[in-house]
Copies of this chain bind each other. A is one copy, B any other.
């Protein structure tokens, strides 16, 4: 079994117009910036993008929005230190927004990966984000029913990867990456280093390979936060 591919272009080659794409990361940490930029190079359109945020500055998801790839964002927090790309597209009506509480977003993604079409949560009960959703009482407390959230593709960032697709992550860059890996039809991971099968201690695998379809090695990946602070613009 060998899930590795040699180039970023190969890694994202299947993603086409109108796809739903989960993108790992929380702000810049864990954002698969090289995969995102490779996707921008393909100039696909009409994507639904699922991420905690909605981009910062003019790189990564912000650049996807500026370059017209994104029709809809599903996120918890579209604000950032420089949200101009999102804000302009949203205010002009070019970009649809679905705001989801962060924990509900995480749980909807995990539910998709775990075969749970719907679950109940106390989060958002009594708020406008629960409008139109079924409410049920359990043990005297009210809960809102939420649906799973699936994607055609997940672009994620790991630290180590092996040919079986097993992954580790680096510190808080883990965040949404492992659960998005579970929830997409095809999961594409960039990793800092590919090791042989057995090169990751089975105790330390965070994403077992069953959740990962493609692995591409990007040694010394750039950090979105650093690009942003340099004022970088992509492409």
Q: Report which A residues bind B (CB closer than 8 A).
A: 107, 111, 114-122, 136, 138-139, 141, 143, 147, 168-169, 171, 202-204
A118→B120 contact, CB < 8 A: yes
Find A116's partner among B121, B171, B202 (CB 8 Å cutoff): B121
Find A117's partner among B114, B117, B120, B147 (CB 8 Å cutoff): B120
Which B residues touch A118, using CB under 8 A? 119-120, 136, 138, 143
Supposing A168-B203, A203-B168, A204-B204 touch, asked if A111 and B119 sit within 8 A by C-beta, the answer is: yes
Find A119's partner among B120, B139, B168, B203 (CB 8 Å cutoff): B120
Main secondary structure, interface of A, reads mixed
Residue of B nearest to A148 (CB): B138
Residue of B nearest to A172 (CB): B202
A116→B119 contact, CB < 8 A: yes
A168 vs B115: C-alpha distance when bound (angstroms): 27
Residue of B nearest to A143 (CB): B117
Residue of B nearest to A116 (CB): B119
Supposing A107-B114, A138-B147, A147-B138 touch, asked if A203 and B121 sit within 8 A by C-beta, the answer is: no
Q: Which of A141, A168, A204 has the most CB of B within 10 A?
A: A204
Which B residues touch A203, using CB under 8 A? 168-169, 171, 204
Interchain nearest-CB distance for A140 vs B (Å): 11
Residue of B nearest to A118 (CB): B120
A203 vs B168: C-alpha distance when bound (angstroms): 9
Interchain nearest-CB distance for A123 vs B (Å): 8
Interchain nearest-CB distance for A60 vs B (Å): 24
Q: A117-B120, A118-B138, A119-B119 are in contact. List 18 more A-B contacts (CB 8 A).
A: A107-B114, A107-B116, A111-B119, A115-B121, A116-B119, A117-B138, A117-B139, A117-B141, A117-B143, A118-B119, A118-B120, A118-B143, A138-B147, A169-B203, A171-B202, A171-B203, A203-B204, A204-B204
